[in-house]
């Protein structure tokens, strides 16, 4: 029987506010294998779950309840805010215009530590299985020491919290940034690494640039071709595309036997696996 790693993108962004504890709990309720999320660093060195290193105008109200305008969003820089200050922003009641079916409510960006501890308690309460974590270091070199630390420091923060939480065996660290992955490997070579891809280079060149074979190759799903399939199979690298939201695309990814799928709608993917007789890891 074919098996699949179902990964809830930012929890379940199509259903609940992204990268929030309620979204991750909902993903657990839906039966996902893996919670996929993004990480940035706060002023006081906390590892915070957020896609941008600032408060996006698309989803945020400031501490006074005002909408944040696009032109000033980068002034709300998480790297210049403490965790307590970050928690005063509302990233759930405005909604995301690209995901009109989201349930809306006031909620904040949590630290990775607080989220994992909340999920560990929740799965025990629900009698569910502890999930895997696919966590992204959101680093762009041009923003070093402006919106986040340099690669070594950034990776150090992330590796330290994973070690402290005791979840090394259940964690994958992913990044588009090669240096972040290289630094992570140096810090702890037991953590599984995921190379995120959005370029059109051939897979051999991408792997050569990285300098080692990652545990997972994770391209935008439309970039997968036969060469990618053959290389991953030959080199025993898992292939897990992002972000697959339409059922027709999910069916195609399953038909070419990818190892997992990252989706904003894990409810759709879980329903499809049941109908196709696919076993979820």
Model confidence over 32-65: pLDDT tens digits?
Answer: 999 999 999 999 999 999 999 999 999 999 999 9
Find the mean pLDDT for residues 150-165.
Answer: 98
> 8 and 263 in contact (C-beta within 8 Å)?
yes
Find the mean pLDDT for residues 192-217.
Answer: 98
In which band, very low, low, confident or very high, does the pLDDT at 272 lie, cut at 50, 70 and 90?
very high
**Predicted local confidence at residue 210, as pLDDT:** 98
In which band, very low, low, confident or very high, does the pLDDT at 229 lie, cut at 50, 70 and 90?
very high
What percentage of the chain has pLDDT greater than the value 70?
100
Residue with tokens 């972040």: 180
> 263 and 35 in contact (C-beta within 8 Å)?
no
What CA–CA distances, in Å, run from 198 to 94, 124, 222, 281? 29, 37, 10, 26
**DSSP label at 148?**
B
**Predicted local confidence at residue 254, as pLDDT:** 98
**Predicted local confidence at residue 1, as pLDDT:** 82
Find the mean pLDDT for residues 146-167.
Answer: 98
pLDDT digit string (tens) for 1-30? Answer: 899 999 999 999 999 999 999 999 999 999
The pTM assigned to this predicted structure is: 0.98
């Amino acid at each position: 029987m074919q098996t699949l790693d179902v990964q809830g993108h930012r929890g379940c962004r199509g259903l609940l506010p992204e990268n929030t504890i309620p979204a991750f709990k909902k993903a657990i309720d839906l039966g996902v294998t893996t919670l996929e999320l993004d990480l940035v660093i706060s002023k006081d060195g906390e590892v915070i779950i957020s896609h941008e290193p600032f408060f996006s105008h698309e989803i945020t109200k400031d501490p006074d309840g005002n909408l944040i305008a696009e032109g000033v969003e980068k002034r709300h820089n998480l790297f210049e805010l403490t965790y307590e200050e970050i928690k005063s922003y509302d990233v759930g009641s405005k909604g995301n215009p690209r995901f009109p079916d989201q349930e809306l409510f006031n909620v904040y960006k949590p630290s990775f530590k607080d989220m994992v501890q909340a999920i560990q308690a929740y799965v025990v309460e629900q009698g569910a299985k502890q999930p895997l974590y696919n966590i992204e270091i959101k680093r762009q070199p041009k923003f070093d020491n402006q919106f986040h630390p340099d690669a070594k420091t950034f990776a150090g923060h992330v590796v330290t919290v994973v070690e402290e939480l005791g979840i090394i065996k259940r964690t994958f660290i992913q990044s588009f940034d090669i240096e972040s992955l290289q630094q992570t490997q140096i810090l702890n070579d037991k953590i599984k690494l995921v190379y995120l891809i959005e370029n059109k280079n051939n897979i051999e060149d991408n792997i050569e640039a990285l300098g080692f074979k990652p545990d997972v190759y994770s391209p935008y799903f439309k970039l997968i071709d036969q060469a990618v399939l053959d290389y991953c199979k030959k080199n025993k690298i898992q292939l897990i595309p992002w972000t697959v939201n339409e059922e027709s695309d999910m069916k195609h990814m399953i038909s070419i036997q990818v190892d997992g799928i990252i989706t904003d709608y894990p409810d759709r993917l879980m329903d499809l696996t049941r109908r196709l007789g696919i076993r979820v890891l």
